[in-house]
Amino acid sequence: MTIFKYISNTFTALLLALSFGSVQAQDIKVVYHVNTGIESAAAALGNVRNHLTADPTAKITVVTHGPGIDFLLEGAKDSKGREFSGLVGDLAGKGVQFRVCNNTLVSRNIDAGKVVMEAKIVPSGVAEVARLQAKEGFVYLKP
């Protein structure tokens, strides 16, 4: 191998390494930030469902805090009396992740056992919204 060939090969490897990040990041990751009450939850979940229909490879995480957690409590119903559990379970089956803020549980005195099994409890909803963007490459959307 000549030295020019060596240099050329090394550059190629370097350029591949540099571009690999963007090549890998083809699937869009989106954090849906939900902190409004149960009356707007059905619309927010409808947005998530439409999003997945338009972009089936999107990775969506719904982070909730404040009144936004209510649709993720056992037995929660929308304004038409339908339980949220069916829609939440359906979206979870499609890969959507749900997060509930522990600060909210504590300040509102809600037992963690009331949170549906599809949702994961995180220490702070707002810190999670920021972390997903800053550290995990998520983009933001407030429905």
110 binds its own copies (CB under 8 A): no
Chain residues 49-108 in contact with its own copies, contact rule CB under 8 A? 50-51, 53-55, 58, 65-66, 103
The region of 23-31, 71-79, 89-97, 110-118 touching its own copies under the rule CB under 8 A is: 23-31
Q: Measured from the CB atom, is 23 or 54 closer to its own copies?
A: 54
Q: Which is nearer to its own copies, 119 or 125 (CB)?
A: 125
Place of tokens 């902190």: 35
Which residue from 73, 110, 121, 130 is in contact with its own copies, where contact means CB under 8 A? 130
Own/partner pairs for 83-92, CB < 8 Å, 24+ apart? Answer: 84/41, 84/42, 84/45, 85/116, 87/42, 87/45, 87/49, 88/45, 88/116, 88/118, 88/119, 89/118, 91/45, 91/48, 91/49, 91/52, 92/118
Q: Minimal distance in Å, beta carbon 94 to its own copies?
A: 14
List Cβ neighbours of 52 (8 Å cut-off, separation of 6 or more): 58, 60, 91, 94, 96
Q: Give the C-alpha separation, 79 to 125, whole Å.
A: 25
Can you give the binding site for its own copies, defined by CB under 8 A? 3-4, 6-7, 10-11, 14-15, 18, 25, 28-30, 33, 35, 43, 47-48, 50-51, 53-55, 58, 65-66, 103, 123-124, 126-127, 129-131, 133-135, 139-143
